[in-house]
A = this chain, B = another copy of it.
């Protein structure tokens, strides 16, 4: 053996548990804190997402104030205040001072944050780069609580520095968080302003005020209608892993297999449950706890191949085609927008839905790669575009079919903007920084189908535009030779030349030629619509 080597006994002494706070402090880039520009955006994003989630769950129209103040070189104070329900004082420090602690991880419900590390991660980054404690003010409508704390990294626990309670004279409720961080503020491209603008578009019922180093801007709410709160649901049998199924059989309160299937899964009624247990050759009255490994495996196989209804729509909160179209038009000033919503689908038992909107022409530059806007559960994704399933799907679609040029493996080129919204009870982000979606095959397929749907609708318009343009060119050409044509026709028909010329010119003025071209639209539309259900992505 060589020098400086270690025996198994020596190595054994090195084993130690790693706390979640230690892990993410050392891996701060996993949370989106690898550089100062991104760090500032990420802090704002995590706090605003939290505020929107809290307001949504409490049924409150969100009113969010974001303030960024420059304190020195690369040093900023960020504060985010909302009018949400607040957090009860007993849970306040834990909610923000412990990583992997939250309200949504164990439920299947659509939300912006679900991992329990968004806001606590921002606080971790603040204390890592400035050594300063986090300041939180919270009220549930009763007293107002002022809390100052740091995270004990080794223990992954809040360590309270000061804590006081005051009277709440004006019935205020909500949370205000104030953090000092190392950051860099920019206003172009990927920036706080861009993030807030896109957030406003995807959440039109929210009012977001931003007071930055260069002044104030407010994104007003354009509707007072809160979207329906998505319902919490049970997993769909399709795609549930056997490991999860096995655990579910040991934790369930159901007394027999049929009851278990009915109560612990969505889209399984009594008839289906009985049918499933029959196919899996399991007695209907058998206790879930008593199932053998082989029985669980048979049940799992049965569940996967059993034809079931798609998950219910009410567990998801999509944006809707109208909002998608308005949003994309606002963002890009496209001349034409078209949106499409896929029916809900399932990956790993998790329902999800894909919405797509395409924008064309207008102020979109005609000779560049298409602009891609990605949203997940109404949160704009600004980073890691190249490593995202939404991007991958967009590059895998053959856009030449829809009239765009495209290099292999690239986004299409042309006056095109592509917006994709992925809504799910569980978004599989590629890292805890939540900037890109993992490429599960089921997700890739659905996004491609959505893009193809929208692509076909858009192609129809694009082709039509080309047809009008060509008709106009023909008309122009015709106009040029109108004198010669009139003379020739006059010779053949004996009608005076001038009369023919006047008639022809009138025809052109009425735009008959162009109208004719436009008349071709409806039939074509019917034909195109008919093709929509043939799913190219499955080929």
Q: Which residues of A contact B (CB under 8 A)?
A: 1-9, 11-12, 14-20, 22-23, 25-27, 29-30, 34-35, 54, 57-60, 85-88, 90-91, 94-95, 98, 100-107, 115-116, 127-131, 140-141, 153, 173, 226, 229, 231, 241-247, 293, 296-297, 300, 384, 386-387, 426, 428-432, 436, 438-441
**Given the complex of chains A and B, what is the CA–CA distance between A19 and B256 in angstroms?**
29
Q: How many copies does the complex hold?
A: 2
Q: How far is the CB of A189 from chain B (nearest CB, A)?
A: 14
8 Å CB contact of A102 from B18, B86, B104: B18
**Given the complex of chains A and B, what is the CA–CA distance between A116 and B23 in angstroms?**
10
The reply to whether A20 and B22 contact each other, CB–CB distance below 8 Å, is: no
Q: Chain B contacts of A15 at CB under 8 A?
A: 91, 94-95, 101-103
The reply to whether B296 and A131 contact each other, CB–CB distance below 8 Å, is: yes
Q: Chain B contacts of A384 at CB under 8 A?
A: 387
Given that A88-B12, A430-B431 are contacting pairs, would A17 and B59 also be in contact in the complex, using a CB cutoff of 8 Å? Answer: no
The reply to whether A229 and B18 contact each other, CB–CB distance below 8 Å, is: no
Q: Chain B contacts of A106 at CB under 8 A?
A: 16, 18, 22
The reply to whether A243 and B128 contact each other, CB–CB distance below 8 Å, is: yes
The reply to whether B242 and A129 contact each other, CB–CB distance below 8 Å, is: yes
The reply to whether A30 and B431 contact each other, CB–CB distance below 8 Å, is: yes
Given that A85-B7, A243-B127 are contacting pairs, would A101 and B229 also be in contact in the complex, using a CB cutoff of 8 Å? Answer: no
The reply to whether B58 and A26 contact each other, CB–CB distance below 8 Å, is: no
A58's closest neighbor in chain B, by CB?
B5
The reply to whether B18 and A88 contact each other, CB–CB distance below 8 Å, is: no
The reply to whether A103 and B16 contact each other, CB–CB distance below 8 Å, is: yes
**Given the complex of chains A and B, what is the CA–CA distance between A59 and B2 in angstroms?**
5
**Given the complex of chains A and B, what is the CA–CA distance between A104 and B26 in angstroms?**
13
The reply to whether B86 and A34 contact each other, CB–CB distance below 8 Å, is: no
**Given the complex of chains A and B, what is the CA–CA distance between A436 and B293 in angstroms?**
38
The reply to whether A100 and B59 contact each other, CB–CB distance below 8 Å, is: no
Q: How far is the CB of A171 from chain B (nearest CB, A)?
A: 14
8 Å CB contact of A18 from B8, B105, B131, B242: B105
The reply to whether A85 and B6 contact each other, CB–CB distance below 8 Å, is: yes
**Given the complex of chains A and B, what is the CA–CA distance between A469 and B140 in angstroms?**
80
The reply to whether B100 and A440 contact each other, CB–CB distance below 8 Å, is: no
Q: How far is the CB of A377 from chain B (nearest CB, A)?
A: 15
Q: Chain B contacts of A439 at CB under 8 A?
A: 34-35
7 A-B contact pairs sorted by A residue (CB < 8 Å): A5-B60, A15-B101, A16-B101, A18-B105, A25-B243, A25-B244, A34-B428
**Given the complex of chains A and B, what is the CA–CA distance between A106 and B153 in angstroms?**
13
Q: How far is the CB of A369 from chain B (nearest CB, A)?
A: 10
**Given the complex of chains A and B, what is the CA–CA distance between A106 and B18 in angstroms?**
8
8 Å CB contact of A131 from B6, B115, B242: B242
Given that A5-B59, A229-B4, A441-B35 are contacting pairs, would A12 and B130 also be in contact in the complex, using a CB cutoff of 8 Å? Answer: no
Q: How far is the CB of A406 from chain B (nearest CB, A)?
A: 14
A100's closest neighbor in chain B, by CB?
B18
A430's closest neighbor in chain B, by CB?
B431
**Given the complex of chains A and B, what is the CA–CA distance between A127 and B241 in angstroms?**
9
Q: Chain B contacts of A35 at CB under 8 A?
A: 439-441
8 Å CB contact of A57 from B11, B23, B26, B432: B11
The reply to whether B7 and A101 contact each other, CB–CB distance below 8 Å, is: no
The reply to whether B243 and A87 contact each other, CB–CB distance below 8 Å, is: no
Q: Chain B contacts of A26 at CB under 8 A?
A: 105, 426
Given that A107-B14, A115-B18, A440-B35 are contacting pairs, would A6 and B243 also be in contact in the complex, using a CB cutoff of 8 Å? Answer: no
The reply to whether B140 and A8 contact each other, CB–CB distance below 8 Å, is: yes
Q: How far is the CB of A177 from chain B (nearest CB, A)?
A: 16
The reply to whether A131 and B297 contact each other, CB–CB distance below 8 Å, is: yes
Q: Chain B contacts of A34 at CB under 8 A?
A: 428, 438-440
Q: Chain B contacts of A1 at CB under 8 A?
A: 58-60
Q: Chain B contacts of A131 at CB under 8 A?
A: 242-243, 245-246, 293, 296-297, 300
8 Å CB contact of A8 from B9, B22, B85, B241: B85
8 Å CB contact of A128 from B116, B241, B428, B438: B241
- Among A30, A387, A441, chain B packs the most CB atoms within 10 A around the CB of A387
- Add 19 more A-B contacts to A3-B229, A4-B229, A23-B105 (CB < 8 A): A4-B231, A6-B57, A8-B85, A8-B140, A8-B173, A12-B91, A14-B103, A15-B103, A17-B98, A34-B440, A35-B441, A128-B242, A130-B243, A131-B245, A131-B246, A384-B387, A386-B386, A387-B430, A430-B430
Q: Chain B contacts of A300 at CB under 8 A?
A: 131
**Given the complex of chains A and B, what is the CA–CA distance between A85 and B5 in angstroms?**
10
**Given the complex of chains A and B, what is the CA–CA distance between A293 and B180 in angstroms?**
14
Q: How far is the CB of A357 from chain B (nearest CB, A)?
A: 25
A245's closest neighbor in chain B, by CB?
B131
**Given the complex of chains A and B, what is the CA–CA distance between A243 and B151 in angstroms?**
11
**Given the complex of chains A and B, what is the CA–CA distance between A94 and B14 in angstroms?**
13
Q: How far is the CB of A104 from chain B (nearest CB, A)?
A: 7
**Given the complex of chains A and B, what is the CA–CA distance between A25 and B106 in angstroms?**
12
**Given the complex of chains A and B, what is the CA–CA distance between A95 and B59 in angstroms?**
46
